[in-house]
Amino acid sequence: MSADQAKANIGVVGLAVMGSNLARNLASREGNTVAVYNRTYEKTEHLLAEHPEAEFVASSTYEEFAASLSTPRTAIIMVKAGRGTDAVIDELVKVFEPGDIIVDGGNALFTDTIRRERAVRETGINFVGAGISGGEEGALLGPSIMPGGSAEAWETLGPILKSIAAVAEGEPCVTHVGTDGAGHFVKMIHNGIEYADMQLIAEAYDLIRRGTGKTPAEIAEIFAEWNRGELESYLIEITAEVLKQVDADTQKPLVDVILDQAGAKGTGAWTVQTALDLGIPVSGIAEAVFARSLSSKPAQRAAASDLPGPSEAWTVDDADAFIEDVRLALYASKIVAYSQGFDEIVAGAEQYDWDIKKGEIAKIWRGGCIIRAQFLNRITEAYDEDPGLVALLTAPFFRSALEQAQEAWRRVVIAATRAGIPSPAFSSSLSYYDGLRADRLPAALVQGQRDFFGAHTYKRIDKEGTFHTQWSGDRTEIEATDTH
Ligand code: 6PG
């Protein structure tokens, strides 16, 4: 291909559903000409045949692909995260030049992105890890995009990404999140919150169904109703759709014929693993990840299925009141999940030296992504009002929402416990709330225990310094000079 054929301003590598939808989205926007490449050319041919209107510039080799792009060359990799990404990067580095931009649009682990960015930067080429949320439909019609990478790369990439992103209240759902792995880090947290939100909704459904005997179709109506209020969100909306669905074979609610073992591709677990490293208690998110793990242990579940449950039957006297309690418990637990997710963003930003604007992140999550929700505006407002907010759930709006919900939340957790219905995300979120607001925690006793068996020392509430009690001797306290 000659230089005058270098007419595409953006390229996409990897033409599975997400890649081809993103390429079609790019092609549909004014001013974009899109180069496409796939490892097997048949897939490229198929896309070309299906979508002539996109006027894709197709290549069968990386050399041709590079030649079809105007400079600085910009290509978005849309392959399954992992080794495949490294293989494509290696090929692109061979045919790209300094100043060009390689974007990884997959769900990469942010530490891989940090590593890749460092390696690619050595060649003078820019590497941008960009989280893209919204599934297949979002990729086609407008996703929420979380790019990291250099400011230089953002200058070229920003306008292109803005052209394809979802729009919420007139603003494109994309922002330069921070350098190197910041974008994929924030996408990981997005997914952690997604796990929590999904688990909370599932617990709400389970409690209502088992407490009131309502059918999935009736519960679908309840969710549809909730979606008109403060819980308005994509996940609530699609839950109503899922619950309405009837299985064509059996005429049963589809939810009753789906095997109750939840899958996971790993981003939720990464959120929790990273939180453990950072020392951030994302307990609601962790319980959501573990709930999926528990569901996927059929042998253990079968072995435990005859363990005793509560001896008294559980009845709900006032179904409407109970449903309203569950709604409030869901709202309060959801606030906790977001608050924990934002805590992890703050800790990650500090650890990796990223300047992440929390309010901006909430803004770009308002449209396109899986956790899009009405109340993200409130999060932006909270961080705008107080950029140094130490815990999201203490912002005035959330404080008052929690105040209104907390009694109902407690009633729901008590009911679930009495009834023997698992509610790990509801109850751990409530424990987190109570833990955070406690005057004194039994952590003091833990410190005493640590000092007893390991001379790990403790601090006192009334004096400066570090102390150790001589437990095996005369039990006097000494001021410790070294810490263990
Ligand atoms: C998104 C989704 C997307 C994907 C998840 C599903 O933001 O568009 O989060 O990234 O659907 O990876 O994850 P699990 O398979 O782990 O549920």
- pLDDT 10s digits, 303-347: 999 999 999 999 899 999 999 999 999 999 999 999 999 999 999
What is residue 183's three-state secondary structure? helix
Q: How far apart (Å, rounded) are the C-alpha atoms in residues 293 and 261?
A: 8
Predicted confidence (pLDDT) at residue 221 exceeds the cutoff of 70? yes
Gap from CA of 456 to ligand 1 centroid (Å): 42
pLDDT at 471 over 60: yes
Q: How far is the CA of 293 from the centre of ligand 1 (A)?
A: 16
Residue in the block written with tokens 């509610």: 423
Looking at residue 481, what is its pLDDT? 76
Q: Which residues contact 216 (CB under 8 A, 6 or more apart)?
A: 209, 243, 244, 253, 255, 256
Which whole-number Å values give the CA distances from 143 to 146, 152, 173, 234, in the listed order?
10, 23, 7, 13
Q: Is the pLDDT of residue 5 over 90?
A: no
| pLDDT reported for residue 374 | 85
133 lines ligand 1 (CB under 6 A): yes
Q: What is the mean pLDDT of the chain?
A: 96
In this model, does residue 7 exceed pLDDT 70?
yes
**Backbone phi, then psi, for 440, in 5-degree steps?**
-130, 140
Asked if residue 267 has its Cβ within 6 Å of ligand 1, the reply is: yes
pLDDT at 247: 98
Other C-beta atoms lying within 10 Å of the C-beta of residue 138: 26
CB 340 within 8 A of CB 433: no
* Beta carbons of 327 and 364 less than 8 angstroms apart: no
Strands 101-104 and 126-133: parallel
From atom 1 of ligand 1, which residue's Cα is the shortest distance away? 133
Residue 477 has pLDDT above 60, yes or no: yes
Tell me the average pLDDT across 191-218: 98
Q: How far apart are CA 463 and CA 461, in angstroms?
A: 6
pLDDT given at position 2: 47
Nearest ligand 1 atom to alpha carbon 292: 17
* Dist. CA 2–CA 226, nearest whole Å: 58
Considering the candidates 187, 334, 358, 363, report the single residue annotated as catalytic: 187
Return d(Cα 143, Cα 25) in angstroms, integer.
Answer: 10
pLDDT (mean) for 210-216: 97
Spacing, Cα 1 to ligand 1 middle (Å) = 38
Query: How many Å lie between the centroid of ligand 1 and the Cα of residue 264?
Result: 8
Q: What is the pLDDT of residue 482?
A: 55
Query: Is the omega angle on the peptide bond into residue 72 within 30 degrees of 0, that is, cis?
Result: yes
pTM above 0.85, yes or no: yes
pLDDT in tens, 81-134: 999 999 999 999 999 999 999 999 999 999 999 999 999 999 999 999 999 999
Whether 263 lines ligand 1, by a CB cut-off of 6 Å, is: yes
What single-letter DSSP state applies at residue 70?
P
- With the most atoms of ligand 1 within 8 angstroms of its CB, the residue from 25, 107, 173 to mutate is 107
- Ligand 1 atom 10: the closest Cα is on which residue? 133
Region 54-83: mean pLDDT is 96
Radius of gyration of the chain (CA): 26
Question: Residue 283: pLDDT above 80?
Answer: yes
Q: How far is the CA of 392 from the centre of ligand 1 (A)?
A: 24
For residue 448, what are the contacts with CB-CB under 8 A and spacing of at least 6? 458, 469
> What are the backbone angles phi and psi of residue 41, rounded to the nearest 5°?
-70, -25
User: Measured from the CB, is residue 370 less than 6 Å from ligand 1?
Assistant: yes
pLDDT (tens digit, 9 = 90+) per residue, 399-433? Answer: 999 999 999 999 999 999 999 999 999 999 999 99
- Of the residues 91, 194, 287, 344, only one is catalytic, namely 194
For the Cβ of 194 lying below 6 angstroms from any atom of ligand 1, the answer is: yes
The lowest-confidence range among 165-169, 367-371, 480-484 is 480-484
Cβ pair 154, 176 in contact under 8 A: yes
Between CA 459 and CA 123 the distance in angstroms is: 51
Nearest ligand 1 atom to alpha carbon 268: 16
CA distance 93 to 99: 11
Nearest CA to ligand 1 atom 17: 264
pLDDT of residue 316: 96
> What percent of the chain is modeled with pLDDT above 90?
96
Q: Atom 7 (ligand 1): residue with closest C-alpha?
A: 133
Residue 166 has pLDDT above 70, yes or no: yes
Query: Which residue, among 70, 61, 91, 82, has the nearest Cα to 11 in the 3D structure?
Result: 70
- Nearest ligand 1 atom, CA 195: 17
Please give the number of the atom of ligand 1 that sits closest to the Cα of 371.
7
> Is 194 known to be catalytic?
yes
Whole-number Å distance, alpha carbon 191 to ligand 1 midpoint, is 6
Question: Given a cut of 60, is residue 285 above it in pLDDT?
Answer: yes
Give the H or E element holding residue 317.
none
Pocket test for ligand 1, best of 133, 137, 189, 191 (most atoms within 8 A of CB): 191
List, as own/partner pairs, every contact residues 90-96 make where C-beta atoms lie below 8 angstroms and the sequence separation is at least 24, other chains included. 91/62, 92/13, 92/62, 92/66, 92/125, 93/120, 93/123, 93/125, 94/62, 95/62, 95/63, 95/65, 95/66, 96/66, 96/125
**Whole-number Å distance between alpha carbons of 406 and 68:** 59
Residue 135 CA: which ligand 1 atom is closest? Answer: 8
Mean pLDDT of 26-55: 97
Ligand 1 pocket, 167 CB below 6 A?
Answer: no
Mutate to test the pocket of ligand 1, among 190, 234, 370, 371 (most ligand atoms within 8 A of CB): 370
Q: Which stretches of 99-146 are DSSP H helices?
A: 110-121, 135-141
Residue (of 289, 431, 282, 429) closest to 343 by Cα position: 282
